[in-house]
Every structure is written in C-alpha cells, then in structure tokens.
Amino acid sequence: MHLEKIETPKDLKKLDIKTLPLLASEVRELIIKTVSQTGGHLASNLGVIELTIALHYVFNCPDDKIVWDVGHQAYTHKIITGRSNLFHTLRQFGGMSGFTKIKESEYDAFGAGHGSTSISAALGMACAQKLTSNKNKLIAVIGDGALTGGMAFEALNHAGHIKKNLIVILNSNEMSISQNVGAWSQYLNRITTNPIYNRIRGDLELVLKRVPRFGSVLVDNARKLEKSLKLLLTPGILFDELGFRYIGPIDGHNIPLLIETLDNIKTFKSPVLVHVLTKKGKGYKFAEENPTRFHSAKPFDIETGIWKIKDADKKRKTYTNIFGSTLVKLAQKDKKIVAITAAMPDGTGLGEFAQKFPDRFFDVGMAEQHAVTFAAGLALKGLKPVVAVYSTFLQRAYDQILHDVCLQKLPVIFAIDRAGIVEGDGPTHNGVFDFSYLSMIPNMTIMAPKDGDEFTSMLSKAVEYNQPISIRYPKDYAVKSGYKEPSSKIEIGKGEILRRGDDIAILAIGTMVYPALEAAEILEKNNINTSVVNMRFVKPLDTGLIKKIASRTKKIVTVEENVISGGFGMSVANVEMQNFASLHIGLPDKFIEQGPRHLLLKKHKMDGAGIAKTILKWV
C-alpha cells in the first residue's frame, strides 16, 4: 500500500513516477468506499485523482497554493495532505468538510462551496505576493462548469490584463452537474474533439520553427503569418487573446504527462492556462455511466450503485418532487410559464419540465446573476418565469433581484429550494439567510409552506400573482398535511390560525409550523394555553392578525428556520404594538455547521421539544 506512506505531499515526491498510478487506484478505492457510506461528490472527485496527484508532485504545498473551485472535488487533495485518517468523517456532524476550508488545513488555500471564485482568489493572492516579495506559485483549478459563472470571466479578464504569475488548470469533462451548457462549453468541446485542429497546430509549429528568426523581412512576415495562422488554427486561442498562454488539451488521467507539462510551465512568469481533459466518475462504472446521478451521491451499494434509502422513505415525496410535478401541471394549463435553472435542472426538480417543454426551459449554466436578470427580461415581455434555485446560490444574484426584478416590479417567481439547514454540505450550503436578505427589498413577496399541500397551493398562487414573489422550502421529505380539509385558501399576506389559546401565541413560518404545534401540546401540559398561527407570509406580514392575537395573549413568540437577524421575527418585532412581550426563536448569528438537518434543528432547539423548552424558560 502506497497510500499508507503518504502523510504529506512531501512523501508523495519520494515515490517513483511509475508507482503514482497505483497510488491513484488506492485513492480511488478509498473514495468510492467512503462516499458509499457518507454520500458526497463522487463523480467529480473520481475525475481529478490523477490531476491532484500530479499537482502535488510538482508543486510545493502548502507554500504553493492550490485553489480548488467549488472545492467539491478536493477529496484526493485532502487525503494526501494529512487527512486520510479523518476521511471516514466526511460530511458528518463534527467531521471533515466536503469542501475546502482554510480552518481545516493549511493545505486548503481558500474556502469554497460556491462556484467560480478560484481565479479571483488566486489572482488576489498573486498580487499580494508581489507586494510581499513572496515567490510561491498560485494555481486555480476550475471545472468547465464553474467556468460558465460570470465571476470566472471577470477574473480571467483581470488576470490577462495585469499579467500576474498565475496558473489556471481548466478541468474539462463536458459536465457541470448535468451536461454542461453554453457557447463556451461548445468552444471547449471543439478544441478537444477536433483532431485535425490539433494536427494542423503541430505541423504549424514545426514549420514556424524552421523559419529564420533574425535579420530579414521574412522574420516580420513570418511573425505576422504565425499570428494569423495561430488565430485560425490554435486551440484555445481565445485564452491566448485574453492574455493567457494556453497549453493543451492534455489527458488528465496520464500522470507522467501531467507532471511533465506542469514541470514545464511552473516557471512561466505570466498567466498560463493548462487545459486538462478528464472523465467524470472515472474508474467506477456506475458513476462513469451516470455522472449526473453520482455528482452528489447518497450513500449507495458499491456492487449495484443503488442508493441506500430506508424502505419507509422510498415512497415519500420531497418538496423538490412536489415543485417539479406541480409546475408541470401548472405549465400545461398556462403557456406563459417558463422555467429557468442555473445548472441545476435535476437538483431543482425541473427534469420533467425540461422534457415536456424544452422550448420553455432554460439552463443558463452556473450563472445565477444572469438567470435572474434573464428572467426579468422574460417577464417584461409577458411571460411568467419561474427561477428555480437553491437559497444559498440565490445570494449570488442579490442585486439582480433588487435592481432588475423588484425595482421594476416584474412578475418573476423565485422557487427557493434548499432553504433552511441542508444536510451534509455545511455552512456554504445552508440556506438560512433568505428571509433576511429578501424581506428588506421593496415589492418582494415572501411565502413559506408548512407542508406539501400548502406548497402546491402556494405555487398556484405564485403563478397567478403579477409581481415579484418567492416561495422557500427545505431539502427534505414534504410534511404530510395534518389537516383533513384543505387548509384555508392562500391569500397574499394572510396567515391562518391553527390553534387557539389565550396565554401565549406562537407565530410560525414554513417548516416551523408543525414543530410549533408540537411545542403547543407540550406547553398545554404545563398549563399554558397556546395559540399557533401559520403565518404563511414573511412579506407582506399579516399585521392585522398579529395585532389582534397579541392584544389577547400579550405574549408572542416567533419561530423560523432562518437566522434571527433580519428575519421573520425581526419583521414581527417591527410591527407597532403596545403592551406585549416577544421572544424570537431562530438560528443564531453564526454560520451553522454541517450535519443532518433534523439533528441540527434539535441542537439549535428548533424541534417541538426545544421550542417548548425555550418558551417555558422565558415565561
């Protein structure tokens, strides 16, 4: 076993290059085995094992800095930088992060989770080095999916202009989570799939090497010819034109070739882009065959590739499932409904919509900012765009929501998935800020359903509503409605009273409604008669109902799966009322750690028992 001998990348360098493919197989086996138990980004990680080994073989980390974009593909990096013994704790509560994290290791040069940041961060470090006379290498590793994010282009533009010593490794596997999209992606594919292109380039280089370089008119002409021919024939010329020296494309699974190439370019003094071709899911049959499914794998059986899901859960529907099927039904009736995703067609539940209405479905790539303003354009021309997006990634498009959608009061519907705590991914993916960041924007309406049935009703309401509107829901199985009758009709800005009691009122929103009802039962046993209101809307707030109930109970408690700062509770606190006391329950003003949603909710006293306990202490 070679892996046992690798404590740090220094140990890696002691190995003969010929043994590195064996090491790669050991790492591959470890990753498959571990992820089959913990879940995680399997396919992306299997694709970059050889690349990671080659990078650590050539460069001297932690002095040299490797900045992984998204950070979801850094398992090999973690394993060979002293964390193999922690690897079994991947994504678990208290365990190793599934992304790069500077607090976790000095080898993690930059924390990530969201995409398209690596070139900016590495360029910043490169500029800082210049000012501090530090000579270390800076390497950004970015996938062709993350390259579709606008920020990556902003960084390339800047890097090519200031010509800092920066290495960008572009990992092309033709995939984002799903098939990669866009003109850039097509351009990269053309580079990689056209052998004539590459052969001509080789021949051209030979010819040009024979042209005399000094002292004749021929030289000038040869240079001009070289430039024009290069423009025509060289793969990656767009990168060259942006100020990067383009190298590639090269086989990202050939370790000796990778090492030779990286060795050659490491002394370059200006920006260089090495284009590496890899296979997503490499070395595990099921992941190679279906890299999208194995992008973010659930725990699975290695022999069959089948998810290990409890029998009881197999028939349950998630909020994402309900969103997908309801939107299809609504779109069948209303041709104006169109759907937009930023590279997450499956994750957001839009798969069926995309199949049924290909002309009304837009995957814009990993580009949330563009997705929102693009939706604004669609809305302006009379369509009903539904932007299906994870809460945490919508943060990327903040000004677009504010300036392009809400300021112009355009009827864009935001279907905000993964709102609240998100299992396994940790602080970068917990969607616990959307109530806060949306509720301060004028013209925005914010809803959150208590259960699956209400979610369906809210979606129907949203597509009828002719103004900016958002619905947020968690990554979880949908709660089955506890009510035989369909709950009262959704009216914009109106809540519903679910339980009446005169001592205290709990105003709950979204996922916290059923835990609030549980808390009320516990309080009842402690002789506290409790009202529970399903507020449904954070904005507009049902101030009439709040005032009425507060005048009776004199004590109100708000509960939300969002940070308290700027959230639902704070909106309630701003309602002008006299003679009442209030308590606000929600997530604290800190980044919430990784772990299972239900465990973390319990830990933060946001299950029924926890809410009751906090209230009992308060009263």
Ligand X SMILES: Cc1ncc(C[n+]2csc(CCOP(=O)(O)OP(=O)(O)O)c2C)c(N)n1
The contact mask relative to ligand X for 55-74 (x = CB under 6 A, - = no) is ---------------x-xx-
Shortest distance in whole angstroms from residue 337 CB to ligand X:
23
d(CA 571, CA 483): 28
Q: CB-wise, 145 or 182, nearer to ligand X?
A: 145
Q: With binding defined as CB under 6 A, does residue 417 bind ligand X?
A: no
Selected binder of ligand X within 9, 40, 47, 252 (CB under 6 A):
47
Q: With binding defined as CB under 6 A, does residue 393 bind ligand X?
A: yes
**Stretch near ligand X under the rule CB under 6 A, chosen from 168-176, 257-265, 378-386, 513-521:** 168-176
Q: With binding defined as CB under 6 A, does residue 293 bind ligand X?
A: no
Shortest distance in whole angstroms from residue 222 CB to ligand X:
39
297-308 burial code (b ≥16 CB/10 A, e <16): bbebeeeebeee
Residue 291 corresponds to which amino acid?
A: P
> How open is the CA angle 348-88-254, to the nearest 5 degrees?
80
d(CA 1, CA 16): 14
Q: With binding defined as CB under 6 A, does residue 40 bind ligand X?
A: no
Q: With binding defined as CB under 6 A, does residue 101 bind ligand X?
A: no
**Stretch near ligand X under the rule CB under 6 A, chosen from 26-34, 170-178, 372-380, 475-483:** 170-178
Q: With binding defined as CB under 6 A, does residue 177 bind ligand X?
A: yes
Q: Six-digit token pair at 210?
A: 């024979």
Cβ-Cβ contacts under 8 Å for 451 (sequence gap 6 or more): 478, 479, 480, 481, 482, 513, 514
Shortest distance in whole angstroms from residue 216 CB to ligand X:
47
Q: Is 396 a catalytic residue?
A: yes
Q: With binding defined as CB under 6 A, does residue 427 bind ligand X?
A: no
Shortest distance in whole angstroms from residue 429 CB to ligand X:
8
**Stretch near ligand X under the rule CB under 6 A, chosen from 340-348, 470-478, 570-578, 583-591:** 340-348
Q: What share of the chain is helix, strand, coil (3-state, %, to 5)?
A: 45, 15, 40
Count of residues binding ligand X (CB under 6 A)? 25
Q: With binding defined as CB under 6 A, does residue 175 bind ligand X?
A: yes
Q: With binding defined as CB under 6 A, does residue 79 bind ligand X?
A: no
**Stretch near ligand X under the rule CB under 6 A, chosen from 263-271, 337-345, 376-384, 550-558:** 337-345
Residue 395 host element (H or E): none
Selected binder of ligand X within 28, 65, 78, 114 (CB under 6 A):
114
> Residue 40 gets which letter from DSSP?
B
d(CA 518, CA 601): 14
Question: Nearest Cα to 493, choosing from 548, 532, 537, 441?
Answer: 537
**Stretch near ligand X under the rule CB under 6 A, chosen from 1-9, 77-85, 336-344, 577-585:** 336-344
Question: Nearest Cα to 280, choosing from 180, 383, 395, 426?
Answer: 180
Q: Six-digit token pair at 89?
A: 């704790």
Residue 2 corresponds to which amino acid?
A: H
**Stretch near ligand X under the rule CB under 6 A, chosen from 169-177, 267-275, 322-330, 462-470:** 169-177
Pairing of strands 384-390, 337-341: parallel
Shortest distance in whole angstroms from residue 174 CB to ligand X:
8
Shortest distance in whole angstroms from residue 52 CB to ligand X:
12
Q: With binding defined as CB under 6 A, does residue 370 bind ligand X?
A: no
138-143: strand order across its sheet: 65-68, 138-143, 167-172, 272-277, 245-251
Q: Is 555 a catalytic residue?
A: no
SS (H, E, C) 467-534: CCEEEECCCCECCCCCCCCCCCCCCCCCCEEEECCCCEEEEECHHHHHHHHHHHHHHHHCCCCEEEEE
Q: CB-wise, 393 or 568, nearer to ligand X?
A: 393
Catalytic residue among 28, 91, 282, 396: 396
CA distance readout (Å), 343 to 120, 361, 455:
21, 12, 24
Selected binder of ligand X within 34, 105, 173, 558 (CB under 6 A):
173
Q: Is 560 a catalytic residue?
A: no
Pairing of strands 504-508, 469-472: unpaired
Binding residues among 242-281 for ligand X as defined by CB under 6 A = 280
Which residues bind to ligand X, rule: CB under 6 A?
44, 47, 70, 72-73, 114-115, 143-146, 149, 171, 173, 175-177, 280, 342-344, 366, 368, 393, 396
Provide the annotated active-site residues: 280, 368, 396
